[in-house]
Amino acid sequence: MAKVLIFLKARIKLFPILPRQSLVFFGTQTVPIVPIVAQYVHRGSIKYEFSTELLQTPIQLIKITNVQTQIVNVLNHLLAHTVERVHEDAPLKFLELIQLLRVAHFEDLESIWSQYRTLPAYRQWLLDTIPAIGTTAALKFIEVKYLADDLTVSEAAQALVASVHMVTASIEAIKLVETLAGNNKIVENPVLRKIVLLGFGTMVSKYCVELDVCPAELIKPIQDLLAVAVAKDETEDIILLLKAIGNAGHPSSLKSIIKILPIHGTQAASLPMRVHADAILALRNIAKKEPRMIQELALQLYMDKALHPELRMLSCIVLFETRPPMGLVTTLANIVKTEKNMQVASFTYSHMKSMTRSTAAIHASVASACKVAVKILGPRLDRLNLHYSKAIHMDFYNNPLMLGAAASAFCINDAATILPRSIVAKTSAYLAGAAADVLEVGVRTEGLLEVFMKNPAPINDVDRITKMKRVIKALSHWKALPNSTPLASVYVKFFGQEVAFANIDKVLIDQAIALTSGPSVGVIVWNAIKALLSGASFHFAKPLLATEVRRIMPTAAGLPLELSLFTTAVAAAAVRVNAMVATPPPENFHFIYLLKTDITLETEIRPSVAVNTFAVMGVNTAILQATLLWRAKLNSFVPAKIVARVDINEGNFKIAVPPVFMPEPIAAVHVETVAVARNIEDLAAARITSIIPAKVLQPTSREIPKYDNFSSAASSLSKSSEAFEDVAPTISIEEFQFVKRYCATALAIGLKGCIKVITENAVSSRDVALYKLAAKRSISLSFQPIEGEEIESWEMEVQIGPKTAQKLIKQINLSEEIVEGRPALMKLKKLLVPRQRKVSSSSSSSSSNSSSSFSSRVSTKARKFSSSRAVRSSSSASSLASLFGVSSTSRHSKPVIYRHKFQKNHKIQALPSQVASVSKSRSSASSFEAIYKQNKFLGNEVAPTFAIIFRAIRADKEMMGYELAVYLDKLTSRLQIILAALAADDTFKICADGVLFSEHKVTAKIAWGAECKQYNIIITAETGLLGQSPAARLKVTWNALPSELIRHAAKIYDYIPAAMLAGLIKGKDSSSTSQLSITVVATSDRTIDLIWKTPTRTVYKLALHLPIALPLNEIKGLTPFDGLADKVHYLFAQAGSAKCSVITDTLTTFNNRRYKNEMPSSCYQILAQDCTDELKFMVLLKKDHNERNHVNVKIADIDIDLYSNITDVIVKVNGMEIPISNLPHHHLNAKIQIRPKGKGISVYAPSHGLQEVYYNKNSWTVRVVDWMKGKTCGLCGKADGEVRQEYRTPNGRLTKNAVSYAHSWVLPALSCSDTTGEIKTLWWYYFYSSILLQLQYKYKLKQLSLTYGEDLITPLSFRVPHEAGICAAGEAGKHPWSGIQVLLRGACAALPARLFSCEDYRRHYWLPLPAYW
């Protein structure tokens, strides 16, 4: 017996969908339970098992009877409905074709292929569809056909890329790809080999994703190939196989990857760095399965400070992808606190800081840990500029929907160059707690910038290289930096799998040049020209299965629940081309013949596209389907006809676009949600029901409640079943429907464009995601001709040369106010002049009102940002008076105002043709007005240079449109551009008039309106000085401006964040009410001041830092090169260059680190040199016996000596003196110049890496170009931005002592007075060591040592880099002790007294010297 609860009444709120129930208890009853008498049959386990047969797509249910016949029928249907335009249901038919091909066996595919292989249209459809079916039969089919030479290489590559990544992973498929990878025909083709090996890794990854333990034998073939490639030192194969292992992500591959990393053994350390980089990146997919294991390895790599900074930053990326715990993140923060490499520190800090802003649930723990780490580090690293490596992460996550997206970017730099070394961009998606990397693109620039900026073929002089190598060999254990061979590399990943990569190197460029310049290319071009002359037509169709995501889950009812997403597209285009020439060409004509005749090209193109997206939720079996289907359709069809005419001899180019039939609409998007129920036995009875009901019932009662919105009323429908007894009149769907049509007409082209938007929601005002998804939405775009304004043709014509004036349709005359020969227009103008003035006055008044209202908004916006320290600002009655009249906070109690007057460079350096006119005028405006009044219209004196005509020819033969004419007067450096309307009764014109007064000033006047007399502005750009700083100023003045311009300016200002107005310093100004100006003052090469002057205010922004250095000296005097390309090249190189200089004895390195450089007399020191194997340049410095600097520059095949005597600077090239009067000196074969500059001499060689070497009697400066940063060495440093690692000796050792650092770069000779330049040994170590030896013998000391900087010197430490480096041994014998005695006898006499005297020795080291010393 059991008690059964009885509920006689239950109220369940069905609408909206909320988890609330109201139950009423009435009582209990005792009911006996009667056992069932039956025989039970054993049915096995209740465990749910998925069916093994191929499932139907949930979008459609297909009853398959004869698969081959059905495939042929669908193919015929697709081809028939994609000829002229794509049918809107073509993507659905394409899905049906995929489903039928999935059912087909390999023999069926063979039969269909043999039937249609010779028909190009059918062949292309089959090659596009078969890879998308994702079965082993498809993969086998592609393999068999390629090996049988039935497919071309391009066809096989396209098919393999899609098939390998879309096929369902299985042991059979993996073995098939493994066999394909070992085939000789695949191995011999690099492109196909990359596709197959990358796909092999992807196949293993897909197969192992559902397995707890994945067999290691699956990935072993790749591991074996990698071991062979490493043994043979085949770099390209190693990189390819590492990427394949990275795609697989198998934990057993970790051992193979570790063997390639530079942490075990010398063999791995000798591999190129890009191999190490790819090995670290291959750990990312393994980290998703074994995060703890990868965390230990990544942390070990990150902490290894001997590794290249780029490898350490890549390790940081891998480490954060493992989602490290709090302890590991704080450990990283403590490492960064003492990190000496600024690139690594900047990258790690920016990565942590960007992760603190993450809102995704999957990164919640990492975000919390990074917040703690950022507090540990503090804001110090946040002040580093953009030249340092950065990591950026941004994401968005909606918790109720469990939906989000993220974007990450990694900018990796190993030196402070403009172009980063590596850039990685990645997008991710979050759904229901899962994350996927959708797309990732990585680019390594490596040697790209160097190729762009330097000579393509530098001079390779063997003697020069030998001499420079002999010089640098004298430095102890000098190490050359490796030279980067590849120019760039790029890779692409989809969903964490690398699908393609390419290395851009010299081999690839040579292959591309050979391919484009080969004889076959000429034949192809020749055949194409002949085909065009005889008329040709093309048809292109391309289907695509863009997305197929299916997730099937078991249910308690025994039916599988499927969630799936499909996106398919079909695009097609029909093209007809016909070329005609004025005179028929001969039978065997040359290509030059076409350039000398009149060519007409008629083209008709009819492109169309259809895209369908389906999202399905419901039951999907082979017998029945009951699903909820969300579908979106996009259809577009835009036909066009273009007629182009080219006549190069006459300088004429014309394009005509005749009208064509425009479909209605040309583009449309329709979104709808429906419920679908169908079964295989009666497909015709399928039921498709729209979720949006046709009618909605509204209950009635005596007391009608007042609802704020319809959702409240609708929620009451389900309160009680009795509520439906009295039914009120129905409410139609119109109450939920939003219909809007936006149209715009363009009379100039005779077209009317409309956008129609229709939205139907289940409940319009309820903000519930389910209701939004269930809505009907459609948007359409259409173009139709305007009634009564039909256009016969749209034309654009360009005319260049002497016949330009003849092509002008409407003659322009700006000198007179009326047009001759039209008395009616003259009378009409007299009547309209007062009205025009009235309108102008009204416009000015409206401008003032608009400005006043805009000013109030500006002040309000500023007060909202800083209410406590707001500064009052008054609005102006002028047109743009309040555009910059904003109030903002300031730390200064008084506004900072530049009290210097702007000194114009133009007054000093005017062009010769305008010196007279400028001298007569007092201001720039008056000089421009003088030229303008002298001749308002340049067409009266010069012919137009070129003209562009846009016109629309109407059906009544009237012409509409515009013509643009350009006039150039070279004598006065004046340019005039006039745009005029072609309509006879339209006087609208735009006139732009500009005058180049000098290289430092240009003025332009822009006027528009009726005859260019309604509105005008004058713009002046000029350079000059503000105090001692170079400056540039842009000044704008006006007489009248349209009110629309003020209104749009106000709207633009509303979008400016209030935070951008902070930090501005304000001051009052009493300048003109119709003038604006902005002045940029270069206070240094990396900081500028901005000054805005408005009619009522002056706004300052001080000390604005720039990412690159400004070439201030070169801007003042332009550049040392004559050609325009060379000037631009020089300025760009100068802006990104690194500077090293000296003032007295204080040297400032490339990284702006200062130290005192004390050097021995007559001994060369290396200031800067190219530390790669190319040895492009070397700059040496020494002091002569008169304490004067002597600079030697070794570059290309010349030696340049710069030194001074009492009065002048002397230049010698290869030992021959060049008089100053003969400068500039140009190298015959290289872009090297020697020019006087100020009080000294400059050497320019930017294409060789040396931007400039400047020398005068008191100072010198060395600049290297941007692409040499990080590749230099010497006293000036590496120019890599690493200020914490500045003092690096020639052997790469880091020292903290500036004295040791400076002495390590000295090149001593036989004696310090030797002038031969042949360096033999670092002799001062002999000196100190020999002194210790004498002290040890004299005082019978057992242990004696001397600390010199960071070096420990003993009596037997000689620091000799090479046996040949013992300078004195060659004089006194081969035994080193003899050399020491020679040095002892004359050591003190050879030393400079101010630094290396014996008294200095006694004073610094407090050691008793021998008595005879």
List pLDDT tens digits, range 461-474: 545 556 556 565 55
CB atoms within 10 A of CB 906: 23
pLDDT band per the 50, 70, 90 thresholds, residue 82: confident
Residue among 361, 364, 417 at smallest CA distance from 389:
417
Residues 6+ apart with CB under 8 A from 596: 648, 649
List pLDDT tens digits, range 554-611: 887 778 888 899 999 999 998 998 888 877 777 666 667 667 778 888 888 999 999 9
The per-residue pLDDT for 129 is: 92
pLDDT band per the 50, 70, 90 thresholds, residue 38: confident
The per-residue pLDDT for 1044 is: 80
List pLDDT tens digits, range 705-753: 333 333 333 333 333 333 333 333 333 434 467 788 999 888 777 788 8
* Encoded tokens for 901: 């007057």
Residue among 809, 833, 1071, 763 at smallest CA distance from 949:
809
pLDDT band per the 50, 70, 90 thresholds, residue 899: low
pLDDT band per the 50, 70, 90 thresholds, residue 74: very high
pLDDT band per the 50, 70, 90 thresholds, residue 1224: confident
Phi, psi angle pair for 723, to nearest 5°: -65, -15
* Encoded tokens for 1188: 């004067």
Q: What is the mean pLDDT of the chain?
A: 75
What is d(CA 911, CA 259) in angstroms, rounded to the nearest whole number? 69
Query: How large is the average pLDDT for residues 949-953?
Result: 86
Q: How far is CA 261 from the centre of its chain?
A: 30
What is d(CA 1293, CA 1271) in angstroms, rounded to the nearest whole number? 16
Phi, psi angle pair for 966, to nearest 5°: -120, 125
List pLDDT tens digits, range 785-827: 888 777 888 889 999 988 888 888 887 776 544 333 333 334 3
What is d(CA 255, CA 248) in angstroms, rounded to the nearest whole number? 14
Are the beta carbons of 1011 and 988 closer than 8 angstroms?
Answer: no
The per-residue pLDDT for 815 is: 55
List pLDDT tens digits, range 1052-1097: 766 666 555 555 665 555 555 678 888 988 888 778 888 888 777 7
What is d(CA 1332, CA 1290) in angstroms, rounded to the nearest whole number? 26
Query: How large is the average pLDDT for residues 1137-1154?
Result: 86
DSSP 582: S
Q: What is the CA radius of gyration of the chain?
A: 41
Convert 1071-1080 to b/e letters by CB count within 10 Å (16 or more is b): eeebbbbbbb
- 1098 pLDDT exceeds 50? yes
Are the beta carbons of 1271 and 481 closer than 8 angstroms?
Answer: yes
The per-residue pLDDT for 1321 is: 35
**Percent of the chain beyond pLDDT 70?**
70
The per-residue pLDDT for 616 is: 92
**Higher per-residue pLDDT: 260 or 909:** 260
Q: Cα–Cα distances in Å, from 640 out to 407, 663, 727, 847, 1159?
A: 38, 12, 56, 43, 77
Are the beta carbons of 733 and 761 closer than 8 angstroms?
Answer: no
What is d(CA 873, CA 891) in angstroms, rounded to the nearest whole number? 18
List pLDDT tens digits, range 319-368: 999 999 999 999 999 999 888 888 899 999 999 999 999 988 888 899 99
Instruction: State yes or no: cis peptide before 1224, omega within 30 of 0.
Output: yes
- 635 pLDDT exceeds 70? yes
The per-residue pLDDT for 750 is: 78
| H/E stretch holding 1112 | helix 1112-1116
What is d(CA 353, CA 393) in angstroms, rounded to the nearest whole number? 9
Are the beta carbons of 1154 and 1133 closer than 8 angstroms?
Answer: no
Are the beta carbons of 26 and 6 closer than 8 angstroms?
Answer: yes
Helix (H), strand (E), coil (C) string for 786-817: CCCCCEEEEEEEEEECCCHHHHCCCCCCCCCC
Amino acid at residue number 119 = L
What is d(CA 1251, CA 489) in angstroms, rounded to the nearest whole number? 27
What is d(CA 1407, CA 1413) in angstroms, rounded to the nearest whole number? 12
- 1406 pLDDT exceeds 70? no
Residues 6+ apart with CB under 8 A from 891: none
pTM of the model: 0.71
Residue bearing tokens 């008044």: 845
What is d(CA 1262, CA 1168) in angstroms, rounded to the nearest whole number? 8
Let me know how long the chain is: 1413
Residue among 1327, 1334, 1323 at smallest CA distance from 1366:
1323
